[in-house]
Amino acid sequence: MQKTRKPAKPRGGSKRLAKLDQLTIPATYDLRKVGVTQTLIVAFQCCRVRWLMLLNGLRNVLKNRVTVFGTIMHGLLERVYKDGVPTEAIRQKWIGQIKKEEPDAFRAVDAEQIESDIWMAESLFLGYCAYWKKDFKDKKAHQTEHEFAVEFNGVTVRGKMDVREEDKAGDVWLWEHKFLSRIEEDVLSAKLAMDLQSQLYLLADFHERGEWAKGIKYNIVRKPSLRPKAKIERGIDPEDPKGKRKLYSPETRIEYLQRVRADIMERPDFYFIRHRVTWTKRDREGFLRELSNKLNEMAKVIAGELTIWKNQAACIIPFKCDFLDACETGSLANYNAGPLFPELKEGKAAGRAIKSKKAKK
């Protein structure tokens, strides 16, 4: 549909693009020097137009791609594995830091929603620290988040790993934090075994250590699904002469949040689940082959050998695409250009890939 590789202003340049059909692959983009993340690869698989938008650093100013809840929860877990279980004052300080570091997560979200999400994340975090207290006894067993940049077939693959754990048997497991509302036990293993994010962690870890980890440990935090009650009995109406009429009112936000917090403390095993998926030779071979195919195809699009086309099947399934209104109207008025990899700390992962070791099959 669209021609690729037309000369274009680099992302963040002075020329502001107003129309979707003006969008091209940034002239500064390079698979080796700039590289890819899981987000970019998934976008490429789903829809090449979505990938092109992300490649230009475009973000919908009216919508967040991350949730306040997930951002706070992730930020707290990152810090607790680094610095240990915090006091109340330190936890509040961490929340302040997360808000400053991740402003995008709080954009276009109303104050009440932010407050509820923070309360929810804090409630789960308190329950988590109590339930998994053994984690914080041996600091050396858990290496915390770090950004990686590794070379694979001439492409720099970037990302941020959650936790690397060495268990008592000396096996290395890479963790991934997952915040899920619904957990279907029967599909969990299959779904997680196909998780590109985790596969990229395993690849990065292999390049960093020279051997494959045993697998992925999914550190699942279940998001409470309790809903505020529409009606709570509030005693007898003092104005009823018979003294029988009951008074009702909806559950207040504070009551609701307190009920959620109590539920987390009462049944932590429902909210905090760990699930291990072993990484087999067959898994590795399939993943390396597929990753290679995907990146080769991406290189061909960048070189103009393959075209960019809209995948209409991905516009609303499984969720509404952030770029739906751009595709519908052709206008980029609701989009701002920002950093290409907002999930990575600026400068840290830029420019240099760790020299690849030959992948053992």
Q: Which stretch binds ligand SF4 (CB under 6 A): 2-10, 86-94, 111-119, 313-321?
A: 313-321
Give the pair of three-digit tokens for residue 216: 């992925």
Regarding 321 and contact with ligand SF4 (CB under 6 A), the answer is yes
315 binds ligand SF4 (CB under 6 A): yes
CA distances, 162 to each of 108, 173, 318 (Å):
27, 11, 25
- The nearest distance, CB 27 to ligand SF4, in angstroms, is 22
The single residue among 314, 337, 354, 359 that binds ligand SF4, judged by CB under 6 A, is 314
**324 binding ligand SF4? (CB under 6 A):** yes
Side chain identity, residue 170: G
Two tokens, residue 337: 């250009």
Counting contacts by CB under 6 A, is residue 63 touching ligand SF4?
Answer: no
Q: Which amino acid is at 208?
A: E
> Could you write out the DSSP letters of every residue in 346-359?
TTTSSS--BPPPPP
Which residue do the tokens 């969990």 mark? Answer: 188
Selected from 8, 25, 40, 49, the binder of ligand SF4 by CB under 6 A is: 49
Q: Which two tokens stand for residue 235?
A: 């005693």
Applying CB under 6 A, the span of 45-53, 129-137, 199-207, 233-241 interacting with ligand SF4 comes to: 45-53
Q: Does 287 bind ligand SF4 (CB under 6 A)?
A: no
50 sits near ligand SF4 (criterion: CB under 6 A):
yes
Provide the 3-class DSSP secondary structure of residue 331.
strand
Q: Tell me the CA distances in angstroms from 177 to 154, 161, 295, one per residue in order.
A: 29, 10, 26
**Per-residue tokens: 35:** 């590289």
Q: Please work out the total of residues on this chain that contact ligand SF4, with binding judged by CB under 6 A.
A: 12
Stretch that binds ligand SF4, among 162-170, 230-238, 264-272, 304-312 (CB under 6 A): 304-312
Specify the residue for token string 């949730």.
67
- What residues make contact with ligand SF4 under the rule CB under 6 A? 47, 49-50, 310-312, 314-315, 321, 323-324, 327
